[in-house]
Amino acid sequence: MLLPSSNWLRRAPLDHLDLDWLTQANIEVAILRLDQIDPLISGNKWFKLSEHLKAADRAGAKGIISLGGGHSNHLHALAAAGKRFGFPTVGLLRGHPQDTPTVKDLQAFGMQLHWLGYGGYRARHEPGFWQPWQAQYPELQPVPEGGGGLPGAKGCMPLKAMVSAQLSGLGWNDYDGWWLACGTGTTLAGLVLAEAGEHRVYGALAVPDDHGVAQQVQGIVQEAGSVDAGYELLDASRGGFAKVDPPLLEFIEQTERDSGIPLEPLYTGKALLALKQQVDAGKFTQGTRLIFIHTGGLQGRRGFSPAT
Ligand SMILES: *Cc1c(COP(=O)(O)O)cnc(C)c1O
């Protein structure tokens, strides 16, 4: 078994997020700290993996093979899970051998790495891509890039119950919606499925419009036989995925100073700044209560800042 039979789905803490611009607008935000579920495993990538791991268990697989880049939060969570629970992992990497902090962790966690080059990596959606890998690693179950698809979304559905169970601790009896960063939209799709229209889900897009996030969310929700409703996507990409600008970095620094909560510039920093812009623009009425998801990704920011 890849997963121990009980107690592996860690509860992420839910805390008040106290920031001037929220207080002034009379908007309340609670932050769900997926960056704090475990010393080794962090973020939404762990939840996205959980149903893939269960499926691998059902299929009798002994371990997992998956793919990503040299800063991949997904491969990091997978390698960490393999290390923690004692199953073998193989990572197929984009590009040529690199020594990023992420790659060093993957190796330290015992993940077997193969570098595919850029052309080889682009072939990942072609039929037959997995065949030679499955021949080489017959006991490992392939998991798609980023842990996406319907299983990835299903793995994020328990976040709703995790929040509901902690509302009274905040002095809240309900909330109005979720706010989170989106890359593929898989995590958001999981919340849309869990909520089934009960609370609105706002997705702050870390990627430009042409990445087809809306279609991917729609595809997952339809595959689950649910209704494609109750969510809204907003651009938060600031000119492109992983594009960073001085106002964003200043905002992150200021927020970290004021709240003590670490953010990274690709997802969580952009998502929170986009929320501030919408709050400043008057999108939410006074008294609105939102759940902001800290989706993790802090391990990846080491590649962007020499100081950490
Ligand atoms: C991958 C990732 C996301 C995006 O998740 P999707 O399910 O692809 O939308 C958001 N935040 C962080 C930190 C991530 O690593």
pLDDT tens digits, one per residue of 70-110:
999 999 999 999 999 999 999 999 999 999 999 999 999 99
Report strand pairing: 289-294 vs 231-235.
Answer: unpaired
Determine how many CB atoms are found less than 10 A away from the CB of residue 229: 11
Q: Contact 17/30 with Cβ under 8 angstroms?
A: yes
Domains in the chain (CATH in brackets) are: 14-38+149-303 (3.40.50.1100), 44-147 (3.40.50.1100)
Q: How confident is the model at residue 217 (pLDDT cuts 50, 70, 90)?
A: very high
Please tell me the distance from the alpha carbon of residue 74 to that of residue 78, in angstroms, as a whole number. 6
Given the residues 5, 72, 237, 305, select the one marked as catalytic.
72
What are the C-alpha distances in Å from 135 to residues 2, 91, 130?
21, 15, 9
Nearest CA to ligand 1 atom 13: 297
The SS3 assignment for 210 reads helix
Backbone angles phi, psi at 206, to 5 degrees: -85, -5
Instruction: Find, among 29, 33, 32, the residue nearest to 290 by Cα.
Output: 29
The residue whose CA is least distant from atom 4 of ligand 1 is: 183
User: How many angstroms does the Cα of residue 100 sit away from the middle of ligand 1?
Assistant: 19
Please state, in angstroms and rounded to a whole number, the distance separating the CA atoms of residues 194 and 18.
27
Which one-letter amino acid corresponds to residue 128? Answer: G
Tell whether the model's pLDDT for residue 5 goes beyond 90.
no
72 is annotated as an active-site residue: yes
The whole-angstrom separation of Cα 180 and Cα 173 is 21
Helix axes 73-85, 44-58, angle to 10 degrees: 50
Q: What does the pLDDT read at residue 304? A: 65
Ligand 1 centre and the CA of 45: distance in Å?
7
In degrees rounded to 5, what are phi and psi of residue 41? Answer: -100, 135
* Any atom of ligand 1 within 6 Å of the Cβ of 187: yes
Tokens at 115, concatenated? 């570098």
185 lines ligand 1 (CB under 6 A): yes
- What is the reported pLDDT for 306? 43
- Listed residue (105, 78, 73, 104) closest to 91, CA to CA: 78
Ligand 1 and 43: CB distance under 6 A: yes
Query: What's the mean pLDDT in 220-242?
Result: 94
Is residue 303 within 8 A of residue 72, CB to CB? The reply is no
> 70 is written with which tokens?
């040299």
Average pLDDT (17-37) is: 97
Ligand 1 centroid from CA 76, angstroms: 13
Q: What is the mean pLDDT of the chain?
A: 95
Tell me the C-alpha distance between 280 and 160, whole Å: 27
- For the CA of 264, the closest atom of ligand 1 is 13
Question: Is there an atom of ligand 1 within 6 Å of 182 CB?
Answer: yes
SS3 29: strand
Distance, CA 267 to ligand 1 centroid (Å)? 7
Local confidence band at 305 (pLDDT 50, 70, 90 cut-offs): low
